[in-house]
Amino acid sequence: MNDYQEVRFDATPCNDTITDVLAAVIADAGFESFVPDEKGLTAYVKNELYNIDTINSILENFPIEGVKFNVKSTFVEGKDWNSEWEKNYFQPIVIANKCVIHSSFHTDIPECEYDIVIDPKMAFGTGHHATTSQIVQQLLSTDLNGISLMDMGTGTGILAILAAMRGAKADAVEIDEMAYVNAAENVKINNHPEINVMLGDASLLPAEPKYDILLANINRNIILSDLHSYAAAVKSGGNIILSGFYHEDIPLLLEEGKKYGLEYVTDTQMDKWACLKLVKK
């Protein structure tokens, strides 16, 4: 069932750094969507993954000292998540004056070279988060015509869709079944059914080099665990573009990447979130 727990974290004190770090650490416990505000964070996790003991352990070991949390959870029965996003969160966004991302229920949409329709349901990736936005900008500044591309943790499918619009032959992998279904729907809505959306994890990646570019907008721990598989799947001279972590995590990722012939190219930063580009030698 598509049932969730809505978990409210009130933080004292509270600022952008605290809510960003909180989102990052609870993501490892299965939380998928995050709505920060001036008092804390509202986050969503599938009902079957909700574990208060895990949450308490995370908060007891919170990496910022002196923060106190008040936690309250509410069961949310499966519903029309498109409607919820329409009412509360998702508004059209324009990135780099070239790409507009909106949902099918939006009107008065700005005209851009690339027009992407996303009905996000509960999947991550509307372009509003700094991680998605930075990778979108990387794709907009890269010649993708004729290249092969893999989008790991595709979420709504937005990155694979933009890559296909710009001429790439795109594959995508998503571990969450509901997000996988949503991504498959979105690639059809955008008239790119040729994008191969797969349900699974890094074990689906080929052991031999296949892709010119691999994207992974996930989180630091998963990237560190799967970086060897990413590297094996990318051609020599190809790029791996990573996000879903903080700028201070970059040295750790670079150290791990060196084991697999990955070298630093460039990085960007937005709202403390980083996007790292590597090349495979």
State the Cα–Cα distance between residues 18 and 67, nearest whole angstrom. 8
E-strand stretches of the chain: 4-12, 31-37, 40-46, 68-76, 93-95, 99-102, 114-117, 148-152, 169-174, 196-199, 211-217, 234-246, 262-270, 273-280
pLDDT at residue 219 in the model: 84
Of 38-47, 84-93, 112-121, give the range with the top mean pLDDT.
38-47
pTM: 0.73
Q: What DSSP string runs through 24-62?
A: HHHHTTTEEEEEEETTEEEEEEEGGG--HHHHHHHHHT-
Cβ-Cβ contacts under 8 Å for 83 (sequence gap 6 or more): none
pLDDT at residue 119 in the model: 74
Instruction: Categorize the per-residue pLDDT at 123 as very low, low, confident or very high, splitting at 50, 70 and 90.
Output: very low
